[in-house]
Chain A
Amino acid sequence: MNRRHFMKTLGVAGASLAGGAARAAEQAATPEFFGVLVDTTRCIGCRSCELACAEEAGLPLPDIENDGALAEERDTSESCWTLVNRYQTSQGDVFVKRQCMHCWQPACVAACLTRAMYKTATGPVIWRSPQCMGCRFCMVSCPFDVPKFEYDEWNPKIQKCNLCWQRLEQDRKPACVESCPTDALMFGRKRDLMEIARTRIYNHPERYVHKIYGEYEVGGTGWLYLAAVPFEELGFRTDLGTTPYPEFTRDFLYGVPLVLFGLPALLYGLHELSEPQGREPAGEE
């Protein structure tokens, strides 16, 4: 946080106590990430989002009228960043849109050794081509198996949803959200989206399962889901836990400097201690 920002925050905090001001400053400093709320009870499976995404990202356009792609469960691919799947449930057909979840603390970003995977200040997790060396560690680490690799290219790219981060910079909504005819997709700050999601469950407790997928999963995600049936029935993994994935390697990485500086001292000490007594130290071999 720069000084001007800090002074501004102080001004806003106004007459509050020093402690309060500090807390307010801290709050202002934590970025408010954007996300999308998906209300699967509103989705009609028209797949306009798929088309809009492909147009925006320059990917092959799907023939949403005739290709019959809803017949089977699909996964996003290197030429398709988002798609809609149909699930037959006790509540009838439910349509679920899939794309990158834009985790709060993304495993792929922690995994990337060249910082090609990057979480911008407003929330999108993006992939920056010139830095990537194609190691695919992001794919190994992503709990949702989102990053896709171009196996048939000599100069392969990682393909995944980037939450239209360039549109966001122009204060425009992501292409998929803008294309949605039923307001199944809602774009906003996660804080606001959570309130809306909770209100919907509160107002219509019979219409929703009382869970917002993405609220806590893997430490919270940018995309949130509401549904009428348990999320297991909609192809969601509910065994991923609530720990942010970078935490799994944090202890190890914190241990590295300790070993890096501690162990040489220990080894040198052992070397000195092992010197045979009353003899010249062993010379050259």
Chain B
Amino acid sequence: MADRLSLMREFGRFLRFLLSELRPRGRMLTPFNLISVPVIVAAAAILVVRFTRGLGAVTNLSQEVPWGLWIGFDVVTGVAFAGGAYVITFAVYVMRMEKYRPIVRATVLNGLLAYIFYAGALALDLGRPWNIINPIIGNKFGFSSVLFLVSWHFMLYMLAEFIEFSPAVAEWLGWKRVRRVLHAFTLTAVILGITLSTLHQSGLGALYLMAKPKIHPLWYTEFIPILFFVSSIFAGLSMIILEGTLSHRVFATQINHKRHGSFEEIILGLGKGAAIAMFVYYFFHALVFVHDHRWQLITDLWGVWYLVEILGFVLVPCVLFAYGVRNRSVSIVRTAAILALIGIIMNRLNISVIAFNWNSAAHYYPSWQEIVVTLMVIFSEIWVFRWIVLRMPVMREAHELPSRPTESRPSELTASA
């Protein structure tokens, strides 16, 4: 009896804790909120139309262009950007590079949320999302489909990332014993996660292998899967550099001073990794180019566009990364990261949208509704990220209390949710 009473009291305390955590903190009228809230509301309205009147009512998709911005950007590009999680967990948990431990949780959280939101955006694009369960159950296994592989890997990877992040949740809730158990699974989850990432990052590229007659020959190669995998390494690293820089300003109250010092070293280390991965990527591209005798393909506008991508947004950031690391300049590394990310967006959109059906009369431009929904996906991910960072020990240590966001406010950007 007494047991049950104390249990109920404990549960009541837990509920009150959850409710108090759900309450927004800090100022509501930040520039980010002012922009993101109307976008999210508008997107919700668009999605109502999309689910009642069909995809054609809000998108510019057609019989010739069945995949547009929602797949090409939200899923294919978004997942490449989320590659940082498997690279960093590889460095910290497999190779034991302690230097990067301070950024592990934020990176894994980012990766997890990116998969939930960007891969989740896939469901918006499905004609019959209620059948999304079909590849997972019973007699409907399309083993010969690359998409079957990718969908299973998305699902398992989200699970692995959740396990990797779960100790932070347990710390937030104060569940010490649960945390110990969850922590014991970390290495297994990490190894599984890296393996799955290798396969589905390349798998996203393999999706386009059967679209051979539709993709411009400069972008089509049988090595698309390898190129996608290698580029996801530096896409992920660049994203961590960019996101880390922003977080550092926005969530300054969450990070103690000891860590501020090591932050520069971390950025330079990431830049070095990105430089190497980018060089390998550039080398692969050059190899394919020479091997396939593609000289005569670069004489028209498509050729120029291809060179802009490969030289301007692969070779240039690659050299900038190397130069920035050598001269210990964080700002040059940051510039390189931004260029590299633009290059990734260009590459993924070229294969999935721009150079897709290059020889057909049908051209695709995203509708404004498609763009609004894409922004909604990005903004809502940031909302959830912010909510979690301000409550769970992601950037701070578990025993450190966050300094009150209401008191010291270093900049207008300071987060509140």
Find chain A residues with CB under 8 A from B270 CB: none
Find chain A residues with CB under 8 A from B258 CB: none
Complex Cα gap A268–B198 (Å): 15
Complex Cα gap A239–B215 (Å): 13
**CB < 8 Å A-B pair total:** 169
Complex Cα gap A115–B143 (Å): 9
B98–A282 touching, CB < 8 Å? yes
Measured CB to CB, the nearest residue on chain A to B131 is: A133
Shortest C-beta distance, B67 to chain A (Å), equals 6
Complex interface: stretch among B56-64, B284-292, B313-321, B363-371? B56-64
Shortest C-beta distance, A246 to chain B (Å), equals 6
Of B63, B128, B147, B187, the contact of A139 (CB 8 Å cutoff): B63
Shortest C-beta distance, A250 to chain B (Å), equals 8
| Interface bits A25-55 vs B (CB < 8 Å: 1, else 0) | 0000000000000000000000000000000
Complex interface: stretch among B27-35, B204-212, B272-280? B204-212
Of A155, A253, A259, A285, the contact of B128 (CB 8 Å cutoff): A155
B172-223 CB contacts (< 8 Å) to partner A:
183, 187, 191-192, 194-195, 198-199, 202-203, 206-214, 222
Contact of B405 with A by CB under 8 A: no
Complex Cα gap A90–B215 (Å): 32
Shortest C-beta distance, A10 to chain B (Å), equals 31
Given contacts A140-B66, A240-B213, A248-B210, whether A113 and B131 have CB atoms under 8 Å apart is no
Of B94, B104, B145, the contact of A267 (CB 8 Å cutoff): B94
| Interface bits A111-150 vs B (CB < 8 Å: 1, else 0) | 1111100000000000000111111110111010100111
Measured CB to CB, the nearest residue on chain A to B60 is: A151
Complex interface: stretch among A13-21, A63-71, A270-278? A270-278
B211–A141 touching, CB < 8 Å? yes
B154-187 CB contacts (< 8 Å) to partner A:
183, 187
Given contacts A152-B53, A252-B206, A263-B194, whether A143 and B213 have CB atoms under 8 Å apart is yes
Measured CB to CB, the nearest residue on chain B to A128 is: B140
Shortest C-beta distance, B108 to chain A (Å), equals 12
A255-285 CB contacts (< 8 Å) to partner B:
256, 259-260, 263-264, 267-268, 270-271, 274-276, 282, 284-285
Contact of B90 with A by CB under 8 A: yes
A to B CB contacts below 8 Å, 24 in the list: A75-B63, A77-B63, A110-B145, A114-B134, A114-B142, A132-B131, A133-B127, A133-B135, A136-B67, A137-B207, A140-B67, A141-B210, A145-B63, A149-B63, A151-B61, A156-B54, A248-B209, A252-B202, A252-B225, A256-B149, A264-B191, A271-B191, A274-B94, A275-B96
- Beyond A152-B54, A241-B212, 11 additional contacts (C-beta under 8 Å) are A75-B63, A112-B142, A113-B148, A114-B134, A132-B128, A135-B126, A136-B66, A140-B214, A248-B210, A267-B195, A271-B94
